[in-house]
A and B are shown apart, each in its own frame.
Chain A
Amino acid sequence: MPLNIDLQQILLHWMNLAILTGGLYLLLYKPVKDFMTKREEHYRQLDEQAAEKLAQAERVQAEYQARLDGADEEIHQARARAQQAIQQSTEDQLAKAREQARQIVAHAQTEAEHSRERVLRESQRELRKLAAQATKKLAFHVDPFDQFLDLAEEGEEYEE
């Protein structure tokens, strides 16, 4: 044949190429490709795990944020309640103080009234006594001058 083309040698080359293709596929191509696929799968799993952990962390963060927001509200409410209680207590104390003051004033007024009445009664009694004595003396004709002197003496004693 032209160019020394030989069908038998071509077939031998085919056989050689078939052996090479099969051998290289089994010895090199497939094992390396399998390893690359395995590594890709490994890193894909790692990526998924990382994404899952990130999502979980975000969920926990959101949960704690919600709790934190709740705590703020709770603190706000507690503060409002405390202020209300203080206000109530102050008002109670004030009312009590006012009541006590009113009672003290009333008591003082009562005491003053009683004192005034007692003094008045004693003055009236003294006046009646004096009037009785004067009447008695007038009735028994006593010298008015002596009587006056006697009364004056008695008055000084009384003042002392």
Chain B
Amino acid sequence: MGVGGDDVICLNRLSKTFRVGFWGKKVTAVDQVSLAVRRGEVFGFLGPNGAGKTTTLKMLMGLIYPTSGTATIFGYPIGTPQAKARLGFLPESPYFYDYLTGREFLRFYGHLFGLRGAWLERRVDELLEVVGMAHARDLQLRKFSKGMLQRVGIAQALINDPELVVLDEPMSGLDPIGRKEVRDLILRLKESGKTVLFSSHILHDAELLCDRVAMIMKGRLVACGHVSDLLAGGATQEAELLVERLLPEALERMRSFAKKVVLQGEQVMVVLASQQDVDRAIDLVRSVKGKVVSLTPQKASLEDLFIREAKGAREPVEVAA
């Protein structure tokens, strides 16, 4: 986690404590999170619902003030106009001015960056094209579907041609086609040299897209690094073997070393923990003239890591007096 010149976002022990309820009870939403996002990478910010992802992103955007710790964007302290000038932000399940048409909406956000004139008009049309909303340029946002809102939301995040794009749960609530489109868009942004930071609880998307990920649980950073490194740490050699025509006594012998044996009608599904066990199982099946239907290695996924960390972080949310 270097703090070199190539770090676009840099968090240093960033914390946020909220006061909730009538008595102002303190609840720590984000607890001393330190991490850095490097130029040009797609960075996934992962964690279950309520882990503190949105709170962290809101602090970066200057919507919430940190209780302690510091953070910079492009070297400028968060919340300053300089920090915000070269970034684009899409909030979680965005709500927009529904009385505006698609074009008025983007034009307005362009004005907030000081953009004007023919260049802005071109940019607005271009972006509506990019997110596939050119047909709705003169339609009021109140008539948009959720997927359409998400698309113009992404368009407004890109209006200033930002170097850094921050997306809060960009895939949530979208259908599979919409999710694929968002994924493609993130990859296009990466190709054009942008840095992308997005939060998600959908791990599959993160696995497909991210160079590096950070995982946050109950406000604390539990893992951060390259997807491949994180997965290597929890790599398993597990394999799933599907066989047919297995005699009962062979089944019993199989049970003695297999991790799991599941009868599925004519077929038997065997989960094996190591390569050695796989060899043993195949020998056994052959010796009784059984038939191997398939052998599938179980790749470690972010999901396994996620669940492992979630179990580890079971202590309750920190509540100070």
Asked whether A and B interact, the reply is no
**A interface residues, Cβ below 8 angstroms from B:** none
**B interface residues, Cβ below 8 angstroms from A:** none
